[in-house]
Amino acid sequence: VPQYVVKGMSDEVALTIGQLAREAGVNVETVRFYQRRGLLSEPDRPAGGIRRYSGIDTERIRFIKAAQRLGFSLDDVEELLRLEDGTHCSQARQLAERKLAEIRTKIDDLRCIESALDGMVDRCRAARGKVSCPLIASVHRAGAAQQP
C-alpha cells in the first residue's frame, strides 16, 4: 500500500479499528475489506498491544467513500490513490472523463425507462372496468419479446 499524506491531518491520532470505523462513518468489516484490497495499510501490532490508526487513515477511508459516491468503483479508487501525488492530473482526468461518459449513458437509459413507465402508468390511469391491467400486460409483452 503506498504511503500517503493528507495536508492538515495529524498522523499521531491513536485510534482502534472500531474508533477509526466510527470516525470514518463505516463499519469495522469495511476497514478490514479495504485492507485486504490494499486500499488501506494495516498498522503493525505492538507486542501484546492493539493496532492503532491515525487521522490519515480516517481521511483515506473518507476519500474512498467520497469517490464511491461519485460512481467510482474500488478499482477506480485504487487507481486514483496511485495518482494522488499531484503529478498525474491528466491521468486522473481521463479516468473521470470515462466515468462521466458511463454516468451519461446510464442517465440516458434511465430516461428511456422513465418514459416507458410513464406511459404504462398513464394507461393504468385510463383503464376502466374489468380489463386486464395495462402495466402488467405491457410487462408480459416485453418478457415474451425477449424469448429466443
- Separation of alpha carbons 116 and 110, rounded Å: 10
Whether residue 9 is predicted with pLDDT greater than 70 in this model: the reply is no
pLDDT band at 2; cut points 50, 70, 90: very low
What is the distance between the alpha carbons of residues 41 and 29, in angstroms, rounded to a whole number? 14
For residue 20, the SS3 value is helix
Q: What SS3 string covers 61-122? A: HHHHHHHHHCCCCHHHHHHHHHCCCCCCHHHHHHHHHHHHHHHHHHHHHHHHHHHHHHHHHH
- Sign, Cα dihedral of 55, 56, 61, 63: positive
What percent of the chain shows pLDDT beyond 70?
89
Q: Is 53 helix (H, G, I), strand (E, B) or coil?
A: strand
Mean of pLDDT values over 116-125: 87
Task: Give the per-residue pLDDT at 15.
Answer: 94
pLDDT the model gives residue 138: 80
Residues 49-58, mean pLDDT to the nearest whole number = 94
- What does pTM read for this prediction? 0.73
